Structure 1
Amino acid sequence: MPSGLIALLDDVATIAKLAASSLDDVAGAAGKASTKAAGVVIDDTAVTPRYVVGLSPERELPIIGKIAVGSLKNKLLILLPAALLLTAFAPFLIVPLLMIGGSYLAFEATEKIAEILLHDHHHEEQLVDAMADPADLEALQVKGAIRTDFILSAEIMAIALASLDHLTLATTAFALVAVALAITAGVYGVVALIVKLDDIGLHLAERSSPVSRKIGDALVHFVPKMLSALSGIGTAAMLWVGGGILLHGLEELHILDFIPHALHDWSAHAGEAVGLMGPVVEWLLYALGSAVAGLIVGGIIVLIVRRFVKHPEELIVD
C-alpha cells in the first residue's frame, strides 16, 4: 500500500518501464522521470543547499556540480552494477540493504536532533576548524552531501530495477542509466536554482522597473532565512525518507507489516473525513507517521552508538 515517498518511487519504476519499452523513446522517458521525481527533488532540495551555506558565493555552483557528479557516480558506477548483480544472484538481499540505508538516514537525522537538545557542539567545532582552509571545508561538505545522496539514489535505483526484472540485462542497464541521468539533472537543477536565488534577487533589485526592484528586494531578504530553515527541513526530510524506506521494507518482508498497514489505513480514513483536502491530509499523515517511525528507529540507534562511541557525530560528515 504505497504512499508518500513510496508512491513517488513507484512512479519512478513506471518511468523505468517506459524507458525500457523502446530504446528510441529513452530520451523522452528520461525527461518525464525528472518531473515524476518530485518527492526526491523535495528531499534533496531540502538537504543539499545546507552544504553550501557559509561558503563563498562563487563556489556555490561548482560545489553543486561536484555533488551532482558524485550523485551520478553513485548511481552509475556503484549502485547500477550492484543492483544488477544482486538481481542476478541475491535478489532477497535488496530490501534488507535498503532498510539498512533507511536506518542510517534515520540515525543521521536523529543524531542532529540529539546534538541540539544536548548542546553538543563537537561537530560545529570540527566545521569551524575546517573553515580555516576553504578547500578543506568544501571537501567536507561535498563528501557529506554525496553520502546522503547515496541512500536516496539507492532507493530510486532499486524501485526502478524492480519493474525491469522481465527484461534483458543490457536493456535493464540502459533504462536505469536513463532514469539516473534524468533524476540527477532534475534534482540538482532545482538545487542550483535555490542556492542562486539571492543573486537573482540582487540582479532584479538593480533594474529600473519598480516591480523588479520589489521582487529583487524581497528575494534578497527572504533567501537567507529560507536557506537557514532548509537545515531543519532537511533533517525532517531524512526522517521521513528513512522511516518510509523502513515501513516499505516491513511490508515487502512481511515482518510487522501490520504497522505500515495500520498507518496507511489510519491516514486514509482521516483523509476521507476531510473531503476535498483528503489526498493532501492522507499524504501528510503518512509522511508524519513515516517520520515518527524514523525517529524511533534512529533514536534506538543513537542510544546504542552513544553508548559505545565517544563522539558519535564523527560518524556523520556534513
Structure 2
Amino acid sequence: MSAGLLGLLDDVAAIARMAAASIDDVGAAAGRATAKAAGVVIDDTAVTPQYVQGVAAKRELPIIRKIAVGSIRNKLVIILPVALVLSQWAEWLLTPILMLGGTYLAFEGAEKIWGRLRGHDAHAAKVVDVGEDAEKTLVSGAIRTDLILSAEIMVISLNEVAHEGFWARLAILVVVALVITVVVYGVVALIVKMDDIGLALAQRRSSLSQKVGRGLVRGMPRLLAVISVVGTVAMLWVGGHILLTGTDELGWHGPYGWVHHVEEGIHHAVPAVGAVLAWLFNTFCSFVVGVLVGAVVLAVVHVLPLGRREHHSGGADAAAGTAVVEHPATPEEGRQ
C-alpha cells in the first residue's frame, strides 16, 4: 500500500515538474515574442497619451483604464481568436488584413497633421467639459487605434512562436497580451499623472523635492507635446512599415527589396553605427510610405466630392481617434 502511495506521489511530482517546465517554456517564449514586438509596443506607448491631452485631471486615469480594458478586449476577444484561426487554416489572409490596418493608421496620422495645419484645434474644448458623449468618442477612437497596433504586436508575436503547438501558442499569446497591456498603459498612466506627482513633490518641505516637483510641473506640457508629435509620426511609421513589408510578402518585392538592399549596404558600410543608421533609413522609408498612402486616403475621404458631401451632411469632422469637440467662438472671443 505504501509502495503504491509512493509511486503515486512520484507520478504527481513528475507531472508537476512537467507542468513547471511547460510554464517556464511559455514564459520564455512570451518574453522572446514580446521583445520581438518591442518597436510597436513603444509606438503604442507614444500614441496613447495624446488621447488624454486637454482632459480634466480627475478623468485622466478613468479614461486610461477604459482604453486599457478595450485594449485587452481587442487582444483577447478579437485579435487572438482571429489570428489563431487564420494561422491554422488561412495564413495567407493575415497579411492583407494587417495591410488594411496599416492603411488606417497612415490615414489617421495624415489626418492629424492635416488638422494641425488647418488650425483645427483653435477652439477645442475639454471632452469632460462638453459631456459624456465626447468622452465615449475619445475612448472609442483610442481603442480603434489600439486595435491596429495590437494586431501588429500580436501577429509579430505569433510569427515568433509559429513552430509551437496550437495550445502553446494560445497560452503564449495570452501572456503577451496581458503583459504588454499592463506595461503600455501603466507607463501611459505614469506619464499623464507626472504633473500631479510634481505638484505633490513641490508642496513638501524638502528643497530638493520642491525643485524636482517644480521641474516636473514645468516640463510635462513640453513632454506631452513631444509625445503627441512622436505618436503621430509613429502612426505613419508603423502604418507605412506594415504596407511596405506586406507588399513584399504578397509578391511585389521591388519597394521593400530596394529598401532592404540599401539598408544592408548602410549596415556594412559604417561598422560602428551602421545598424542604427540602417534602422533609421528603414524607418524613414516606412514613414514616407505612410505619409503618401495616408495623404491619398485623406484626399479620398475629405477632399473629393464624396468626402465634402459627408462633411456638409454632418459627418464626423474630428481628427480620427480624437474626441476634440469644437464649439463656436464666444462673444468675448469674437471681440478679441
TM-score normalised over the length of structure 2: 0.79
Structure 1 residue 261, shift from structure 2 partner: 2.1
- Quick check: 2:245–2:256 contact (8 Å CA) kept in 1? yes
Matched residue type, 2:320: I
Q: Which 10-residue stretch deviates more, 218-227 or 32-41?
A: 32-41
Counterpart CA distance in 2 for 1:210 and 1:153 is 43
What is the CA distance between 1:260 and its match in structure 2?
1.4
Structure 1 segment 37-52 matched on structure 2, within 5 A: 37-52=37-52
Per-residue deviation at 1:222? 0.5
Gaps of 5+ in 2: 1-20, 323-336
Structure 1 portions without partners, runs of 5+: 1-20
Match of 1:259 in 2: 255
> Does residue 86 of the first structure (1) align with residue 86 of the second (2)?
yes
More moved, 52-61 vs 159-168: 159-168
Q: Name the amino acid aligned to 2:56.
A: S
Query: Match of 1:9?
Result: none
2:276 alignment counterpart:
280
Q: Which amino acid aligns with 2:81?
A: P
- 1:213 corresponds to 2:217: no
Q: What CA distance in whole angstroms lies between the structure 2 residues aligned with 1:35 and 1:161?
A: 12
Q: Which amino acid aligns with 1:295?
A: V
What residue number does 1:317 align with? 321
The answer on 1:202 being equivalent to 2:199 is yes
2:239–2:290 Cα contact (<8 Å) kept:
yes
Instruction: Return the offset for 1:264.
Output: 2.4
Deviation of 1:40 (Å): 2.6
| Alpha carbons 1:247, 1:260 under 8 Å: kept | yes
Q: For residues 163 and 27 of structure 1, what CA distance do their matches in structure 2 show?
A: 13
CA distance in 1, matches of 2:128, 2:57: 15
Contact 2:241 2:287 in 1 (8 A): yes
Amino acid at match of 1:48: T
Separation in 1 of the partners of 2:294 and 2:79? Answer: 24
What displacement does 1:271 show? 4.4
Distance 1:207 1:131, change over 3 A: closer
Q: Deviations over 1:214-236 (max 9, x none)?
A: 22211110101111222222111
State the Cα RMSD in Å. Answer: 2.5
Shift of 1:161: 2.0
Partner residue in 1 for 2:22:
22
Corresponding residue for residue 266 of structure 2: 270
Contact 1:41–1:190 at 8 Å: present in 2 too? no
Alignment correspondent of 1:175:
172
**1:260 is paired with a residue of what secondary structure?**
helix
Aligned residue for 1:254, secondary structure, equals coil
**Aligned partner of 1:151: which letter?**
I
In the alignment, the residues of structure 2 paired with residue 194 and residue 164 of structure 1 have an alpha-carbon distance, to the nearest angstrom, of 32
1:201–1:314 CA distance, 2 compared to 1 (3 A): closer
**1:287 aligns to what SS in structure 2?**
helix
Residue identity matched to 1:316:
A
> Take 2:195 and 2:127, find their aligned partners in 1: how far apart are those partners?
25
- Counterpart position of 1:248: 245
Q: Hey, what's the Cα distance between the residues in 2 that align with 1:315 and 1:86?
A: 32
| Distance in 2 separating the partners of 1:211 and 1:151 | 43
Contact 1:30 1:181 in 2 (8 A): no
Q: What count of residue pairs does the alignment treat as equivalent? A: 294
List per-residue Cα deviations over 1:43-97 (Å, max 9, x = no partner): 1222111111111212212211111110010000011111122123321111011
Indicate if the aligned counterparts of 1:40 and 1:187 stay in contact, CA closer than 8 A. no
- Judged with a 3 Å threshold, the aligned counterparts in structure 2 of structure 1 residues 103 and 92 are, in CA distance, closer, same or farther, namely same
Residue 185 of structure 2 is aligned to residue 188 of structure 1: yes
2:46/2:234 contact within 8 Å kept? yes
Of stretches 304-313 and 52-61 in structure 1, the one that deviates more from structure 2 is 304-313
Secondary structure in 1 aligned to 2:53?
coil
Contact 2:55 2:127 in 1 (8 A): no
Which one has a bigger Cα radius of gyration? 2
Q: What is residue 328 of structure 2 aligned with on the other side?
A: none
Letter in 2 for 1:138: E
The alpha carbon displacement at 1:313 in A equals 4.1
Give how far 1:199 is off. Answer: 1.5
Match of 1:14 in 2: none
**More divergent stretch after superposition (191-200 vs 273-282):** 273-282
* Displacement after TM superposition at 1:265 (Å): 2.6
Partners in 2 of 1:274 and 1:152 — Cα distance? 32
Shift of 1:130: 5.2
Runs of 4+ in 1 over 6 A off after TM superposition: none
Give, in angstroms, the shift of residue 275 of structure 1: 4.3
Q: Secondary structure at the match of 2:100?
A: helix
Shift of 1:237: 0.6
Task: After superposing the two structures, state which structure 1 stretch, 180-189 or 24-33, moved more.
Answer: 24-33
Q: Cα 1:130–1:209, aligned 2, differ >3 Å: closer, same or farther?
A: closer
**What secondary structure does 1:276 align onto?**
coil
